[in-house]
Amino acid sequence: MNRTTAGGELTNSFKKYKLNMSNQSRIIGAGHYVPEKVVTNQDLEKLMNTTDEWIVERTGIHQRRYFEEGKDTTASMGTEAAKRAIQHAGIDKNEIELIVFATLSPDYYFPGCGVLLQKELELPHIAALDVRNQCSGFIYGLSVADQFIKTGMYKTVLVVGSETQSNFVEYSDRHRHIAVIFGDGAGAIVMQRSEEKNKGILSTHLYSDGSMAEELFCPHPGTRLKTRITHEMIDDGSLLAHMNGNLVFKHAVTRFEECITTALEKNNYTINELDLLIPHQANLRIADFITRKFKLPVEKVFNNIQKYGNTTAASIPIALSEAWAEGRVKENTLLCMAAFGSGFTWASALVRM
C-alpha cells in the first residue's frame, strides 16, 4: 500500500512506482498464421443464394481462410502466430511474463484461450488473461499490455488475437449476409519496455456504447434469456449471430473517424504526418470511406480483407504482421490502428515504431 512518512515524503515503493510510470512500451515483433484452406466466393455460391459480384460489392472480400478440423483451433492458431512473433522479436520465449489473448471464439466456454496458449508455449506459471471485446479486442489487449509495462509490473508481454469463426456461421440464405464476411486466423505481437522517449505506444483510446449491444450480437449460448439451448433455437436461428448491417456501418465510419482524430490530436500530430493506418478489417467499404474522409493516399492505408475476410480480433495483428513483412512498417513509422465492433466498442492506438 502506498504511504507517506510523518514528514510527508513518499515511501520507496511509491517512488519506484512513480519512476516506472515513465516507461515506454514498444512493439518489437509481430507474426501471423492463417489456415491453409482457402474458401472463395465461388465456393460459397454453391452453398447459398449469393454471387461473387454481390459479396465483392458489399464487402470487398474475394476469399477467406477456414480452419481444418483436427489441425486448427483458436488457441493453436494463436500459438503459431505467437511463435512467429517471438522469432521476429528476436527474444527468448521465457522473457514473456504475461499473455493477453483476444478472441470471441474461444476453444472452450471456459477456461479461456490464454492459459491454453501458455500451456502450448510451455511457459509455466506466467500470467494469462483473455479479452472479450470482439473486433476491438486486439487494441483493448494492446492497451492492457501497455499499462502493465508502463507501470513497471511486466517488461515483456505477448498480445494475441485469434479467431475460429467459420464454425458458427450458417451457410444458408437467412444467414448469408454474415456467413460471407468472416474468416479464421491469428496474429500476435510482442511488446517490451523501453526507455527510449517519444517512441513506442504513444497513446491508446478505448470507448464503448452498451445501448447498441443487441445491434450486433450472438444471444446464445448465454444466460440473459434464462433458457437452455433447445432444438427450436437451432431451427429459428437463435444460435446465430445477428447484425443490423446499415446501423453498424453508420456508427463504424463515425467512430473510426473520431478515435483516429483523437489519437492524432492527443499527440499533436496531423493526418498528413501519419505514415500508415491499419483499420480493423471489417468491410472494405468502411476502410475506403475513412480513406476518402481523411483524404489519405491509398498507400497509407493497409487492407487485406480481400483475401482473409473479417478475422475480428485477429484482423489488425495479421495486417500489422503482413505490413511489417512487406516493408511498410519501419523504424520511426507513425502508425495508427483503429477498430470498431460489437458492444459497440471502438478503440485506437497511435504508435511510433
> Mean pLDDT for each 10-residue chunk of the chain (353 residues)?
43 43 89 98 96 96 97 98 98 98 96 98 96 97 98 97 94 91 98 92 97 86 77 81 87 95 98 98 96 97 98 98 98 98 96 98
Three-class DSSP category at 313:
helix
Burial class (CB in 10 A: 0-12, 13-18, 19+), 306: middle
**Model pLDDT, residue 226:** 67
Q: Is the pTM of this model over 0.85?
A: yes
Catalytic site residues?
135, 280, 310
Look at residues 312, 341, 36 and name the one whose alpha carbon lies nearest to residue 162.
Answer: 312
**Model pLDDT, residue 120:** 98
**Model pLDDT, residue 200:** 97
CATH 1.20.1740.10 fits 200-352, yes or no: no
CATH 3.20.20.80 fits 18-194, yes or no: no
C-alpha cell at 159: 498480445
**Model pLDDT, residue 245:** 81
Question: Which ranges of 121-244 would DSSP assign to H, the alpha helix?
Answer: 137-150, 176-179, 231-236
Question: Which residues are paired to 10 by β-bridges?
Answer: 4
Q: How far apart are CA 192 and CA 89, in angstroms?
A: 10
Determine the Cα angle at 59 with ends 57 and 60, to 5°. Answer: 75
**Model pLDDT, residue 21:** 54
Half-sphere exposure of 323 (CA within 13 A, CB side): 28
Omega within 30 of 0 (cis) for the link into 344: yes
- Which residue intervals of the chain bear CATH 3.40.47.10? 18-194, 200-352
Question: Which ranges of the chain would DSSP assign to H, the alpha helix?
Answer: 12-20, 41-45, 52-59, 74-89, 113-120, 137-150, 176-179, 231-236, 245-266, 284-293, 305-308, 315-325
